[in-house]
Amino acid sequence: MEGKNDKIQMILRLSSRHAALVVCALLLVIGVTAGAALDGKDKQQGRLLSGKVLDPQDNPVVSAVVYLTNTRTHAVKTYIVGQDGTYRFPGLSTVDYEVYAQYNNHKSDTRSVSQFDDRSQVYIDLRIDTR
């Protein structure tokens, strides 16, 4: 009978160790998954390009249209500037972009944002001579 009890106790000890290993493994998987989710969230946010569209006297050019072109895919995004002259393109991928503004047949110089620029926020003012 004693031999049987020893075997049962040994099985229970092994089961406890096995359960502890399973719990540790689950906690490890949960931690890795949570870390990956946070990394993915940061990557989803992407880069922010913002700035102002201004005339030569530094006044905002209200209702100017800002064009942002992804040079890899040639996809174009637009933004119509408000009263303060600001524009904003959030969540951008890390690729090359070209940006310019246009207002009443007047156009700013085209500016570039490089994929090698590692800033998460890029600020570019665009100037249009509206005369």
Please report, for the chain, the start and end positions of each structural domain, with discontinuous segments joined by +. Answer: 1-45, 46-127
Given a cut of 60, whether residue 106 has pLDDT beyond it is yes
Within the chain, residue ranges assigned H as helices are 2-45
Q: What is the mean pLDDT of residues 49-75?
A: 97
Could you give the CA distance from residue 94 to residue 91 in angstroms, rounded to a whole number? 10
Q: Tell me: the pLDDT tens digits for 68-87?
A: 999 999 999 999 999 999 99
pLDDT at 5 over 80: no
CATH topology of domain 46-127: Immunoglobulin-like (2.60.40)
How far separated are the first and last CA of the chain, in Å rounded?
Answer: 104
pLDDT of residue 45: 79
Question: Which whole number is the average pLDDT over 85-99?
Answer: 96
